[in-house]
Structures are given as C-alpha cells and as structure tokens.
C-alpha cells in the first residue's frame, strides 16, 4: 500500500506462482531447443519486472488492465 499498489485480497494464484510456472515451461522449451537462450533471459527479466511492479504475493485475480499500463 505504501508503494501505491493495491494489496492482493482475492486469494488464488499469486504473481510469483504465475511467473514461476511460466518460466518452468519456458525452461523446458529452452532445454528442448525450441527457445533461444536470449529469449529465455528476456522472459526471465520480464517476469522479475512483473514481480517487482505488482508484488510477489499479489493475487492474479486482483490485476486489472490499467495495472499493466504502468509497467
């Protein structure tokens, strides 16, 4: 709240859990040769940005399109 963000109150999947699941799936693609190391690094950086911006424990259900406009 001090950072001007809405606290996650709806429960369910968190931003960290979503990003971790996405990165795990991209790691499989990387290991199988279907994804370049550069693209994997970009995805990882973008997930870290989302976690920093929204907060790791914020509920994904709490996110709105306007939240992404701030990123």
Residue 70's pLDDT is 83
On whether residue 18 sits in a domain, the answer given is: yes
- Note down the domain range covering 13: 1-62
On whether residue 71 sits in a domain, the answer given is: no
Is residue 7 over pLDDT 80?
no
On whether residue 56 sits in a domain, the answer given is: yes
Total domains in the fold of the chain: 1
User: Which contiguous run of DSSP H or E holds residue 69?
Assistant: helix 65-69
On whether residue 53 sits in a domain, the answer given is: yes
Is 0.85 surpassed by the pTM of this model? no
Whole-number Cα distances in Å, 61 to 9, 28, 37, 39: 9, 26, 31, 27
On whether residue 69 sits in a domain, the answer given is: no
Is residue 2 over pLDDT 70?
no
Write the CB contacts of 30 (distance below 8 Å, at least 6 apart in sequence). 36, 37, 40
On whether residue 30 sits in a domain, the answer given is: yes
On whether residue 70 sits in a domain, the answer given is: no
On whether residue 1 sits in a domain, the answer given is: yes
Per-residue pLDDT reduced to its tens digit, 12-47: 999 999 999 999 999 999 999 999 999 999 999 999
């Amino acid at each position: 709240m001090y950072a001007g963000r809405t606290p996650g109150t709806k429960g369910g999947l968190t931003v960290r859990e979503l990003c971790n699941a996405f990165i795990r799936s991209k790691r499989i693609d990387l290991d199988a040769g279907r994804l370049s190391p550069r693209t994997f690094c970009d995805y990882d950086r973008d997930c870290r940005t989302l976690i920093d911006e929204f907060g790791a424990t914020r509920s994904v259900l709490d996110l709105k399109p306007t939240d992404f406009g701030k990123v």
